[in-house]
Amino acid sequence: MNLSKLSLIIFLFFCFPCFGETRFSTDIQHVEPTHWWLGLKNKSLQIMVHGKGIGSTEVSSTAPGWKLQKVHRSGNPNYLFLDFEFTAQAKPGVYKIGFKSGSKTQFIDYEIRGKNEMAAGARGFDASDVMYLIMPDRFSNGNPGNDFPEGALEKPDREAPFGRHGGDLAGIENHLDYIRDLGVTAIWLNPVIANNQTQSSYHGYSFTDFYKIDTRLGTLQEYKRLIEKCHQNGLKMVQDMVANHIGTGHWWMSDMPAEDWVHPAGNPLVRTNFKIETVVDPNASPKEREIFEKGWFDVSMPDLNQTNLFVAKYLIQNTIWWICETGIDGIRMDTYPYNDKEYMARWCREVLREFPAFGITGEIWVDQPAVCAYFTEGGLVRDGYKGTLPSSTDFPLYFALSKGLSEEGGWEAGLNRVYVALSQDFLYKDAAKNVTFIDNHDLSRFITTQKGNVAKLKQGLAMLLTIRGIPQLYYGAEILMAGDGASHPDVRKDFPGGWPGDSLNLFSESGRRENVDSVFRYFQHLLKWRKTSQAVHKGSFRQFIPVDNQYAYLRKYQNEMVLVVVNGNDKPGKLDLNRLADEWAGKYRKEVIEVISGEKFDLSGNELSLPARGLMIFEFKN
């Protein structure tokens, strides 16, 4: 007998139980992760097993390359945590794990797959990308058959502002051509993971099962197909994740794995104080810092305790599972500072160790750049904390743009707000990795903050697409969808034309009229131009002090330069070019193209006339 046949016999002997083994039966309800992969740098795996009385059993599982290292009993007799280790001899296959009680043994199958090819394609995101944020329930209903699937706790009601409206993954897939043709390069979806709550579950941020797609949105196979089609269309996929909390409907809440799995709710319930500053404040009250981190985000959102090592391991493995299973390109981590900060630093390290090119940004909702930078890799920190977050959501710049364009100029107002916000970039190791935006699913839509002024919307968009960072757009901004963030459903309305029978279809060019058509074409024109500009993707950023609420900045890369000039006033003005001309005099061709109009300009004069609420983008090339 040759060596290869002998190895196979040994493998089968250890992987499969002997015939005649007496078995007992317990109701094993959950085994997570549901399966795993070879080829990862971390050769260990921790499996959580949940079933009545499973904690009192003896566990065995042995096969070449697969070793049970340790069995952890959590205090709840219905749980076990099993530590396995892979060696170079491990092969893809179905492994047997035995649970013995007395003389009887029950076996489960556990699948180990080969080196994952989906995750190998995860491309990350950078400043060459523009993300398009979609709330799946409110974008398009491509499959009405999944609006109220078996087991769903909340009936669909499109008339209810906080209800389920029926948007799904199929609806997004049906409109990939619209998204692609708009000119963005990536899609960020609000969470698609199971949220089976009794009410207000449409937004997706109350997970009830970390290993399932929400059935109202579709299936795991549909999600994987959507990602594959995105990649085929030159679009990346960014998945929204939540580590801070779960929903009260999560199955853990009826049988907690350990007493300290979630932070105690308190009586009355203790909610977080939402003061992110307590994490970084050297003078903060320890009690208030504790309330921030351990208080529940909402009465329906139990707060996970990541200082519990099993919770931490579970969440890290779950992230890696989604990357391997689906081939997503990046993650936006919700409520990043509300988690244990040491855990989050570890989470980033372990994910990026496996997938160095993977994209991660963290939601840090504050208006102080120093607080955002605190959590990022290489951020300016003096208390010894070593953040590992590659990218922060740039709320400080958002506030500066939103307020700065909506008010008159001044020493601390108008476009000076933008200048001051960007002057703080020294706090970051690389501010170009920040995700920038003018609105999102939690904020008033930009057209609303600008009181319906389309010229200001166009200024905000053009600045977003040319200032340093990774721009993010919110679905519907391109068709003038409005909404006041004081009521979340008001900024999460259905996309017109996404439902059968809609009287207005703004996915279709024929449905877009007047201002809507003008704004859509403006978005599309700038987005398609941005794809071609290496100066915007990779260039340095230099800004000039706003004078009379007129602001200018440059992007430079090799032989390319982009100059952006903005008039923040409601009347025409003249920009003094003498302050800027040293940047291009004698270095570029005399005639330059203004990107928005396509017209040629000679900027060798002393001043440039700007229309009221005007913005110009000049592209210089040698």
Single residue among 115, 141, 161 that ends a domain in this structure: 115
Single residue among 63, 86, 115 that ends a domain in this structure: 115
pLDDT single digits (tens) 175-220: 999 999 999 999 999 999 999 999 999 999 999 999 999 999 999 9
Whether 49 is in a domain gets the answer yes
Query: In this structure, what is the dihedral angle of CA atoms 34, 253, 245, 444, given to the nearest 10 degrees?
Result: 110
Whether 230 is in a domain gets the answer no
| pLDDT tier, 118 (very low <50, low <70, confident <90, very high otherwise) | low
Whether 602 is in a domain gets the answer yes
What's the mean per-residue pLDDT of the chain? 94
Whether 287 is in a domain gets the answer no
CATH for 599: 2.60.40.1180
Whether the Cβ atoms of residue 245 and residue 301 lie closer than 8 Å to each other: yes
Whether the Cβ atoms of residue 361 and residue 375 lie closer than 8 Å to each other: no
Tell me the percentage of the chain whose pLDDT exceeds 90.
Answer: 91
- Domain housing 22: 3-115
| pLDDT tier, 8 (very low <50, low <70, confident <90, very high otherwise) | very low
| pLDDT tier, 549 (very low <50, low <70, confident <90, very high otherwise) | very high
Domain count, the chain: 2
| pLDDT tier, 5 (very low <50, low <70, confident <90, very high otherwise) | very low
Q: Residues 294-306: what's their mean pLDDT?
A: 97
Single residue among 83, 115, 147 that ends a domain in this structure: 115
| pLDDT tier, 119 (very low <50, low <70, confident <90, very high otherwise) | low
- H or E stretch at 280: helix 277-280
CATH for 9: 2.60.40.10
pTM, 2 dp:
0.95
**Active site residue ranges:** 334, 363
pLDDT for 621 equals 86
pLDDT single digits (tens) 72-88: 999 999 999 999 999 99
Whether 12 is in a domain gets the answer yes
Q: Give, rounded to a whole angstrom, the gap between the first and last alpha carbons of the chain.
A: 72
Q: Name the amino acid, one letter, at 572.
A: P
Whether 7 is in a domain gets the answer yes
Taking the CB of residue 219, how many other CB atoms lie within 10 A of it? 16
Whether 73 is in a domain gets the answer yes
Nearest alpha-carbon partner for 110 in 189, 56, 49: 49
Whether 242 is in a domain gets the answer no
